[in-house]
Amino acid sequence: MAASIHPSTVYLSSHFVVAAGSVLFRLSPETYKLQICILYHRQTGEWRLPKGRKDCGESVDVAAVRETFEETGYRCELIVCRMPTRAPKPGVNAIDSVETLTDISEPFAVIISDQGERGIKMIWWFLTRVKSGSHDKVDGTQTNTEQFDSHFVDAEEAASCLTFQKEREVVAQGLKLVETSLKLGDQLF
């Protein structure tokens, strides 16, 4: 029996959880500048990004949109933009390499967190925007255990407001992707 030349780890379903979240953007209704929605957890005092566990049978991108809506109260949708990816175009058997593609809504980051005895948590991150025509916040979308206040802040300041470094890195990369797409003339909003 041959062993892989690449270091690998196998996790069985009882040893991992798949989660998804997003960096939620909008244009400020007053200034038309980019803003990002961040969450303040009233119980812990932490500033976070919206995310949560994927439900059985749910795709990761659908989970990201659902969790973002539930935790922020804002209806949202995936941003389709240009980004580097190792995923091939549909139907193309390409060499495994990084290519910048346009008009995609793939996860742009993943955080893999070792939870000790609880296994690992994989959080897939997507770019979302407040859904066109639904800029009002919907009350009552959080579960009984969630205690979040959602706040839109200037996109350039969002990362510095977050409690955890890995989420700061996610915001910085998400903002870079959105700003690059906008500079190249993509209509994201």
Encode pLDDT of 59-107 as tens digits.
999 999 999 999 999 999 999 999 999 998 888 887 888 999 999 999 9
Compute the mean pLDDT over every residue in the chain, rounded to the nearest whole number: 94
Percentage helix, strand, coil for the chain under 3-state DSSP, each rounded to 5: 25, 35, 45
Contact present, 47 and 94 (Cβ < 8 Å):
no
Q: CATH topology for 16-183? A: Nucleoside Triphosphate Pyrophosphohydrolase (3.90.79)
Parse the chain into domains and list their residue ranges: 16-183
Q: Cα–Cα distance between 7 and 63 in angstroms, integer?
A: 29
Q: 181 and 81 in contact (C-beta within 8 Å)?
A: yes
Q: Under DSSP, is residue 168 helix (H, G, I), strand (E, B) or coil? A: helix
6 pLDDT band (50/70/90 cuts)? confident
Amino acid at 113: S
Alpha-carbon span 106 to 125, nearest angstrom = 9
pLDDT tens per residue, range 142-184? 988 889 999 999 999 999 999 999 999 999 999 999 999 999 9
Q: Which two structure tokens, joined as six digits, stand for 172?
A: 């910085």
Give the whole-angstrom CA distance, residue 64 versus residue 156. Answer: 22
Pick the closest to residue 11 from 174, 97, 120 (CA basis). 120
Q: What is the pTM of this model?
A: 0.94
pLDDT at residue 135 in the model: 74
